[in-house]
């Protein structure tokens, strides 16, 4: 992977942690997630005249991505409703790259080198270690939150594979990105109305539109870079690099959300850095 792509995906990972922190810190996770996603669709609208539409063969992948993203957001909302950012986020993101590595190898024939697989496994181990509540018993785990986080990991794997293939078929990663965010914003608006009703949804969203717009911009920047990267690099490697966002997420959780810092997070950070080195070499 070229250095520019490597650095761009790491920057996108920081953006990803940012919009997840917006959701966790924004009060009602459903309303905040919907506002962020709707805002992401709105952020892309001014760019449509310049990027155009994806190729015709990409539209089935756009539709599939929007459907998977709805399930992703629904499970993510419930994960944040029941668990802390510092625990839910690493589990949701940590399981996905390993699943994606296996799926991309079996489904689309992308083969990874031994160093790349080693780096991926080290990174996943570090990400999952971040979720451990150091110094506390397993009974302190919020098992419902963890269950939703694991479900979220499955959806991450699914939309990563779908969007990697779709972006390559689109002929234009930017147009593909804006298309899926436009679709996701519509289905999330419908999901919010179905769950809350019009009056409650409107009342809940009014105080959050500014932070929602900020989160939406971060969401577009984060995933837009990842989609572009998957057109020039192996999908599994991009998926793994995106999960360095847990380091930024852990920092946000400790500094801004006042969640406790454990020694295990420091060890996890070293594993993730070692994984990054191996991925860069591989």
pLDDT along the chain (282 residues), means of 10: 83 80 70 86 89 93 95 85 73 80 88 85 80 52 78 92 95 94 92 82 72 85 93 89 75 70 73 78 64
What pLDDT, on the 0 to 100 scale, is given for residue 15? 83
Instruction: Tell me the C-alpha distance between 78 and 184, whole Å.
Output: 18
What is the distance in angstroms between the CA of the first residue and the CA of the last residue of the chain? 8
Instruction: Tell me the C-alpha distance between 177 and 109, whole Å.
Output: 24
Could you give the count of Cα atoms lying within 13 Å of 208 in the half-sphere of its Cβ? 26
What pLDDT, on the 0 to 100 scale, is given for residue 137? 42
């Amino acid at each position: 992977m070229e250095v520019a792509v490597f650095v761009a995906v790491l920057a996108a990972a920081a953006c990803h942690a940012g919009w997840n922190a917006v959701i966790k810190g924004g009060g009602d996770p459903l309303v905040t997630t919907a506002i962020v996603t709707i805002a992401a669709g709105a952020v892309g609208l001014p760019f449509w005249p310049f990027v155009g539409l994806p190729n015709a063969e990409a539209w089935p992948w756009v539709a599939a991505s929007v459907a998977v993203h709805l399930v992703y957001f629904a499970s993510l909302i419930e994960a944040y409703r029941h668990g802390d950012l510092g625990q839910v986020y690493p589990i949701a993101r940590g399981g996905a790259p390993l699943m994606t590595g296996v799926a991309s190898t079996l489904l689309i024939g992308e083969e990874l080198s031994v160093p790349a697989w080693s780096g991926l496994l080290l990174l996943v181990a570090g990400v999952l270690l971040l979720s451990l509540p150091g110094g506390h018993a397993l009974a302190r785990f919020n098992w419902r939150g963890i269950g939703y986080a694991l479900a979220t990991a499955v959806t991450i794997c699914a939309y990563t594979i779908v969007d990697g293939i779709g972006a390559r078929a689109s002929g234009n990663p930017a147009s593909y990105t804006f298309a899926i965010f436009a679709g996701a914003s519509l289905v999330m608006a419908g999901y919010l109305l179905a769950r809350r009703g019009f009056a409650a949804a409107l009342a809940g969203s009014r105080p959050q539109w500014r932070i929602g717009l900020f989160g939406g911009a971060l969401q577009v920047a984060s995933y837009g870079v990842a989609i572009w990267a998957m057109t020039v690099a192996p999908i599994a490697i991009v998926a793994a690099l995106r999960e360095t966002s847990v380091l930024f997420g852990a920092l946000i959780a400790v500094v801004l959300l006042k969640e406790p810092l454990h020694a295990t997070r420091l060890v996890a950070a070293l594993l993730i850095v070692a994984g990054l080195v191996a991925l860069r070499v591989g």
